[in-house]
């Protein structure tokens, strides 16, 4: 499996505990060694996993070694990205995409986070 740095791997055995019972929304990448677009997506997932750790958990599952979950969610194309919230799939996307587009696609399903830092300068300053 093409492993994205900072992204955990789940299996048919660990999927329910790691994904369905998670406190945060979870982005699951259904991937395979033979998937070219999955290779392109790996650094994107690594970056988002690091930058958005307070809003989303990202995991990968190898479809060739985990047919149960792959079949349960009727995944036919790689990479398929599914977002789960409160144990339910709430969004599905197929294909690699650049980081900015993936973040835009995820925005509607991610919780808002109040960033703490210095106040923004007044407009016109």
- Active-site residues, by number, are 35, 38
Residue (of 82, 71, 70, 92) closest to 28 by Cα position: 82
What is the rounded CA–CA span in Å between residue 52 and residue 63?
Answer: 25
DSSP state of 59: E
What is the rounded CA–CA span in Å between residue 110 and residue 95?
Answer: 20
């Amino acid at each position: 499996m093409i492993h994205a740095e900072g992204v955990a791997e789940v299996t048919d055995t660990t999927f329910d505990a790691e994904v369905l019972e998670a406190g945060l929304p979870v982005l699951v990448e259904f991937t395979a060694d033979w998937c070219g677009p999955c290779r392109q997506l790996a650094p994107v997932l690594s970056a988002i996993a690091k930058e958005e750790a307070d809003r989303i958990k990202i995991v990968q599952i190898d479809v060739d070694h985990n047919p149960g979950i792959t079949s349960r969610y009727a995944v036919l194309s790689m990479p398929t990205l599914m977002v789960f919230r409160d144990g339910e799939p709430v969004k599905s996307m197929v294909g690699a995409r650049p980081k900015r587009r993936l973040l835009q696609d995820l925005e509607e399903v991610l919780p808002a986070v109040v960033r703490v830092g210095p106040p923004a300068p007044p407009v016109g300053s």
